[in-house]
Amino acid sequence: MIRHAKAGDREDWKGDDRQRPLTKSGARQAEALTELLNNEPIDKVLSSPFTRCVQTVEPLATARKLPVESRKDLEEGSGGESIVRLVQEFKGRHVVACTHGDLVEELLEHLIHEGLMPRSEAQTEKGSTWVLQETAGNITGARYLAAP
């Protein structure tokens, strides 16, 4: 689960927020994710349809020769339970999903509530990744990878 890389300021963006792109540093983060996840098996790349999320995983998808599949349930405001449902939907698969800070925060609250991680480890840095362990469609653990 990747929180999108750095994007321009919401307040400074004049157009539709769904189209707000990554900054230059965000684009560098997106490129660096390819190396960060080099040793992770990946057979599917999902993303919120928001431009900043798609741009975050495009370099990784290209490197793995996979399409970026747009998912409305990864959009901002979709709720953290949508991530839990995705884990159930793709159980046994190695899926990368790019989403927004609010969903990552709600996912982490779920993990804390389930006793899978202490609150002190909950981090939501832009461009960061949470590698979720899954057994039979249930999240059984999580490992944080800092943003590149």
**What does the pLDDT read at residue 12?**
78
The structural domains of the chain, with segments of one domain joined by +, span 2-145
Q: What mean pLDDT value characterizes the chain?
A: 94
pTM, full prediction: 0.93
Is 33:56 a contact under the CB 8 Å cutoff?
yes
Question: Mean of the pLDDT values across residues 76-98?
Answer: 92
pLDDT digits 0-9 by tens, 5-62? 999 777 776 877 788 999 999 999 999 999 999 999 999 999 999 999 999 999 999 9
Note whether 5 and 27 are within 8 A (CB): yes
pLDDT score for 19: 87
| pLDDT recorded at residue 103 | 95
DSSP run (H or E) holding 61:
helix 51-64
CA angle 16, 66, 107 (to 5 degrees): 60
What's residue 118's pLDDT? 95
At residue 1 the predicted structure's pLDDT band, cuts being 50, 70 and 90, is very high
3-class DSSP state for residue 105? helix
pLDDT of residue 148: 93
One-letter amino acid at 95 equals: V
Please give the pLDDT value at position 138: 93
Which architecture characterizes domain 2-145 according to CATH? Answer: 3-Layer(aba) Sandwich (3.40)
